[in-house]
Structure 1
Amino acid sequence: VLRSIFSCQAQGLGGLIPTIDVSYQQGTNLSFITAGEVIKKVWLNDPSQVTMDFDGPVCMQFGPKPNTSTGDCKNSAANVIQLRRIKKLDIPGLPNTSNTLLTVITEGQGRNKLYTFRVIYGIDNPGYHTLAIFADPSGQEGACARK
């Protein structure tokens, strides 16, 4: 099952932060293919319960200090992030939470976009395997109006 939202909704322009459910049973994909965007950089606030994999090279931020990145930050070419829940790792300083924030910077059509997603730690299958981001609708006023 595929779940889809428009780019402006995924950016939170409608006033809500979109959610992604992750479980032990299966991974959940976050796809920017249909929006025509390339993932340039990714942050995950709590890496103790979720693994990330990509379909190409990507730049990832680790730790609270600036410029603590890994990966190919100039030639990122991923379009899909695969998230999967893992047994909690003991990372000193991280609080015990039921969710985390995933931040994704993409580039498409010569523009950068900032996306934030609330990643919800689940036990059961989330009911979908992919959250697909679609290009914003043209001519549809109010699709992502601010509230």
Structure 2
Amino acid sequence: MEKHLSVVTFPKGLPGFELLKEYKIQQYDELFSVLISVTNPSVAFIIVNPFEFYPNYELDVPDDLLEEIEITNRDQVNIRCIVTWNSDRNKVTLNLLAPIIINFDRHSGKQIVLQNVPYTTKHLLWINGIGDSEGGEG
């Protein structure tokens, strides 16, 4: 699934964290990973592959944004979205409006904000029953 990599560089940082440019990805389980700042490990984000939760998720990334992280073909593109955790699993959300685009070949990434899309920063994570322990199989 994901290629192993030591550090992903975000040339412009992440929005709100522009000074932190290097992050490592630590796999937690089959669905969740943690994006951890190399220089400030207290800055970390839970990330997931959005297609695991929203199979019909669609995004069109402009070529100029792909060029910023040296993507030369679409096979190099890996999409991750940030999860906002909550102690109540029914309130855990996924930011589909601002996905993280990662080029695992070049170890570079960029978070983008999609324009003119129906997505928000707070989509319920468990809406499609993935990991749902209530009402049957999970």
Q: Same fold per TM (> 0.5)?
A: no
Larger RCO: 1 or 2 (CA < 8 Å, sep 6+): 1
Bigger fraction of residues in helix: 2
Bigger fraction of residues in strand: 1
Bucket of the pairwise TM-score, normalised by the shorter protein:
under 0.3
TM-score between the two structures when normalised by the length of structure 1: 0.26
TM-score between the two structures when normalised by the length of structure 2: 0.27
